[in-house]
């Protein structure tokens, strides 16, 4: 049987779980206005920025490219923002600025995408958007100076759920013609095990995303959709969220049992900080880069550049 938290408790926990979603629940109009008014992030001098590239017909199916001016056969970080499957933008605070500042000068291309959201598109449709954007980016990588074989897929919160889902349910990516990518980085996923979340006390945002049908929970759950080896996977989790690291640990353990390279990286950071602070000079960024280095010699060489 599923349980919903009382409104007061849910509101308090929501701040700790997803601070942006707390604003969304308390002041949805203000939150939407803030997101829609975001300016293009500041980027290092010399960065080539290609904004609002269309990968589909819907206005939300757009992506931004941040590339070194002289990029050639560059590795690519493909970033998916969070926002409870209902809010957020590819230019929202914390999504790209520190990542671009860190990795574009080292020769990486960073791509940040938008996708359709609730109530217009459920998480499975959103995962299809992510796969569609990834396939598009791989097909066009060379014109931006990137290498389609050197993609690292990354997502935060709801975006981490979506990249985890296309990692485990390989049919989603295959249907869109996605080529194999090097590895996946999940930044404090909001839902690695949807079934477990829905069967326990949970926040109302999960009901809006996943409904009441258990078959739907299974279809949208990265844990339940993992049936074989997956690409190398790094699960960053916040030790400040009660179920974040236990969920990540179970996911990584299952991946390892199926012969995959899975790692968990617990961090004493808030849910929002795990996104915002990646790319700053810190042990946290160094640890994520250690995982990235393990994926490919070209990536390892790029990360050694000053």
Tens-place pLDDT, residues 124-164: 999 999 999 999 999 999 999 999 999 999 999 999 999 99
Cα-based torsion angle of the residue sequence 120, 124, 125, 129 in order, rounded to the nearest 10 degrees: 130
* Angstrom distance (rounded) from CA 173 to CA 131: 5
Length, in residues, of the chain: 306
Give residue 214's domain range: 3-303
Q: What value, to the nearest 5°, has the Cα angle with vertex 19 and ends 91 and 40?
A: 10
Q: Is the pLDDT of residue 32 over 70?
A: no
Residue bearing tokens 């409904």: 211
Q: What value, to the nearest 5°, has the Cα angle with vertex 182 and ends 180 and 188?
A: 110
Residues of the chain with pLDDT > 90, as a percent, come to: 83
List the beta bridge partners of residue 294.
none
**Token duo for residue 268:** 């004493």
Give buried/exposed letters for 183-216 (b at 16+ CB in 10 A, else e): bbbbbbbbbbbbbbbbeeebbebbeebbeeeeeb
**Token duo for residue 267:** 């961090």
Across the range 274-290, mean pLDDT stands at 98
Model confidence at 39, in pLDDT bands (50, 70, 90)?
low
Q: What is the pLDDT of residue 55?
A: 98
Q: Is the pLDDT of residue 17 over 50?
A: no
Across the range 256-269, mean pLDDT stands at 98
Q: Is the pLDDT of residue 269 over 70?
A: yes
Q: Which of 8-12, 89-93, 174-178 has the lowest mean pLDDT?
A: 8-12
List the beta bridge partners of residue 262.
233
Q: Is the pLDDT of residue 18 over 80?
A: no
* Angstrom distance (rounded) from CA 212 to CA 251: 23
Q: What is the pLDDT of residue 25?
A: 39
CATH assignment at residue 215: 3.40.50.1820
Residue 199, CA atoms < 13 Å, CB-side half-sphere: 9
Residue 92: how many other CB atoms lie within 10 Å = 21
**Number of structural domains in the chain:** 1
* Angstrom distance (rounded) from CA 107 to CA 124: 33
DSSP symbol at 135: H
* Angstrom distance (rounded) from CA 165 to CA 128: 10
């Amino acid at each position: 049987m599923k349980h919903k938290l009382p409104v007061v408790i849910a509101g308090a926990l929501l701040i700790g779980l997803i601070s942006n979603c707390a604003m969304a629940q308390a002041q949805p109009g203000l939150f939407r206005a803030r997101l829609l008014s975001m300016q293009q992030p500041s980027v290092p001098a010399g960065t080539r920025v290609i904004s609002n590239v269309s990968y589909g017909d819907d206005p939300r199916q757009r992506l931004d490219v941040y590339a070194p001016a002289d990029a050639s056969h560059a590795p690519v970080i493909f970033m998916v923002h969070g926002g409870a499957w209902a809010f957020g933008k590819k230019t929202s605070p914390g999504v790209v600025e520190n990542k671009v500042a860190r990795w574009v000068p080292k020769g990486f291309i960073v791509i940040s995408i938008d996708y359709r959201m609730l109530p217009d598109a459920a998480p499975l449709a959103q995962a299809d958007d992510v796969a569609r954007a990834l396939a598009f980016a791989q097909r066009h990588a060379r014109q931006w100076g990137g290498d389609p074989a050197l993609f690292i897929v990354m997502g935060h919160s709801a975006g981490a759920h979506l990249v985890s889902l296309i990692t485990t349910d390989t049919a989603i990516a295959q249907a869109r013609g996605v080529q194999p990518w090097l590895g996946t980085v999940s930044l404090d996923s909001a839902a690695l095990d949807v079934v477990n979340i829905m069967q326990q006390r949970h926040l109302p945002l999960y009901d809006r995303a996943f409904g009441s049908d258990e078959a739907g929970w299974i279809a949208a759950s990265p844990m339940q959709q993992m049936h074989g080896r997956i690409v190398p996977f790094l699960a960053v989790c916040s030790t400040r969220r009660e179920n974040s690291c236990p969920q990540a640990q179970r996911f990584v353990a299952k991946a390892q049992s199926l012969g995959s390279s899975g790692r968990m990286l617990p961090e004493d950071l808030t849910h929002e900080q795990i996104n915002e602070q990646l790319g700053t000079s810190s042990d946290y960024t160094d640890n994520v880069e250690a995982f990235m280095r393990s994926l490919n010699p070209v990536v390892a060489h790029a990360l050694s550049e000053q």
